[in-house]
Chain A
Amino acid sequence: MGEKERRKDIFERIYDIFEDVRQRIRDTFEEIFETFETERPMFDLREKCLEPLVDIQETEDYIIVTVDLPCVDKDAIKINATTDTLEIQADMKRSIKFNRWGTVQREVEFHKFKKLIKLPSKVDPKRAQARFKHGILEIKLPKKIKKFRIEIK
């Protein structure tokens, strides 16, 4: 093995070690984030709002966000989007009170749903489409992707 190949081999091994460390850090952060997600309460007592359940699906060209919004009319939903966030706010048809639950929670009447969603990649919010059916809000956001056609020779 020549000096040049040997150096290349060392650099590749160093790169692999860094890549491994990077992956471990990423996994650890994901785990921490998951724990944080579970332990965070799904309500805000000060704003008297509930956090809705959200599902994010990603296709090649779109990010599809669905939000469970029971007890909500279509006209009461406000959606604000940027290239990487989605903010949903929706007033409920009637306020909800969880009698007997917790200590301070039982006194609070919740009036709305609120959620700020961090999108997994950049989107074009101007071309987004939304529909609302059976209390489920679906927002289809086109990804900001530059595509280049590659010729096969």
Chain B
Amino acid sequence: MEGKNVIDIIQKKTINAENSKIILGFPEVGLVGTIASMFLVETLKMEEVGYFRSPLFPPLIILHKGKPSFPVRIYSHDKIFLILSEIPIPPAAMFPLSAKIVNWAKENKADIILMIGGLPVPNRMDLETPEVFAAVCGEKAEKIVEQLQIKKLEEGMMVGPYAAIFMECYNSDVNALLLSAQAFARYPDPGAAASVVTILSKILDVDLDIKPLLERAEELRIRLRDLMRTTSQTMARMGKSQEHGIPPMMYV
């Protein structure tokens, strides 16, 4: 780790991400990305193959089953890679981390980057099954959305780590697809995560039963309160509420 803005990818095993799908699960609206990622790691029995190291992350280590691990880690299973973060991405780290991930995807000739997020809706309490919307970058992403008939986010603003990833993907000509489920903004939302997992199982062509996820929903909501609180504060600091605004070019 040389400069203060450097983010390193430390590989614990040899990674071959050629033609792979790279999934990103960062703490955001309703912790949809975190919950869905945790579920994928568990269900697909994904193996930890690396982690990200940077002075831009807080001095924090996760202890799990008595062993330390870095908060932003890479998991893999066949041709599926998953980057999971157990901390909200600090605003200062968003651009360097995004550049690192997208460069890594490009160098490894990955097929597409899939981002899991939440879309805050005021009537979430009244929705039985949250709907998933997509934001796309690139032809492959367009094709997936068309084939699976996912509604596209046509107009609006994106703020946060996924917005930074999108900017890098657009700039580097890398395919990216954001799957965003209607969710509670400030409460962990396993129901929204289940909606995204349903779509992901089709994209990844793997069988993912959401029943165990929904059965553990209450427990997850209790266990993820602390992460939700810090994530809400990080989102407020980076101006996430701008997403409610109407872009000025909308009617042009």
Q: Is A51 positioned at the interface, with any CB of B under 8 Å from its CB?
A: yes
Q: A133-B125, A133-B126, A134-B125 are in contact. Are A70 and B185 (CB under 8 A)?
A: no
Q: A55-B187, A136-B187 are in contact. Are A42 and B226 (CB under 8 A)?
A: yes
Q: Is B252 positioned at the interface, with any CB of A under 8 Å from its CB?
A: no
Q: Which residues on the B side are within 8 Å of A71 (C-beta)?
A: 218-219, 222
Minimum C-beta distance from B179 to chain A (A) = 22
Contact A55 B185 (CB under 8 A): yes
Out of B125, B223, B229, which one reaches A53, CB within 8 Å?
A: B229
Q: Which residues on the A side are within 8 Å of B226 (C-beta)?
A: 42
Q: Interface readout for B36-57 with A: 1 if CB under 8 Å, 0 if not?
A: 0000000000000000000000
Q: Is B172 positioned at the interface, with any CB of A under 8 Å from its CB?
A: no
Out of A52, A98, A138, which one reaches B125, CB within 8 Å?
A: A138
Count of chain B residues near A, Cβ 8 A: 21
Q: Is A120 positioned at the interface, with any CB of B under 8 Å from its CB?
A: no
Out of B219, B223, B229, which one reaches A38, CB within 8 Å?
A: B229
Minimum C-beta distance from B122 to chain A (A) = 8
* C-alpha gap A78/B162 in the complex (Å): 40
Q: Is A124 positioned at the interface, with any CB of B under 8 Å from its CB?
A: no
Contact A70 B125 (CB under 8 A): no
Q: Which residues on the A side are within 8 Å of B223 (C-beta)?
A: 98
Q: Which residues on the A side are within 8 Å of B228 (C-beta)?
A: 53
Residue of A nearest to B191 (CB): A134
Q: Which residues on the A side are within 8 Å of B218 (C-beta)?
A: 70-71, 135
* C-alpha gap A52/B221 in the complex (Å): 10
Q: Which residues on the B side are within 8 Å of A98 (C-beta)?
A: 223
Minimum C-beta distance from B216 to chain A (A) = 11
Q: Is A96 positioned at the interface, with any CB of B under 8 Å from its CB?
A: yes
Residue of A nearest to B66 (CB): A100
Minimum C-beta distance from A56 to chain B (A) = 10
Q: Is A139 positioned at the interface, with any CB of B under 8 Å from its CB?
A: no
Contact B225 A52 (CB under 8 A): yes
Considering the complex, which residues of chain B in the window 165-193 have a beta carbon less than 8 Å from any beta carbon of chain A? 184-188, 191
Minimum C-beta distance from A99 to chain B (A) = 11
Q: Is B217 positioned at the interface, with any CB of A under 8 Å from its CB?
A: yes
* C-alpha gap A71/B184 in the complex (Å): 17
Residues of chain A touching chain B, judged by Cβ–Cβ distance below 8 Å, are 34, 37-38, 42, 50-53, 55, 66, 68, 70-71, 96, 98, 100, 133-136, 138
Shortest beta-carbon contacts, A-B, top 4: A70-B221, A70-B218, A68-B187, A71-B218
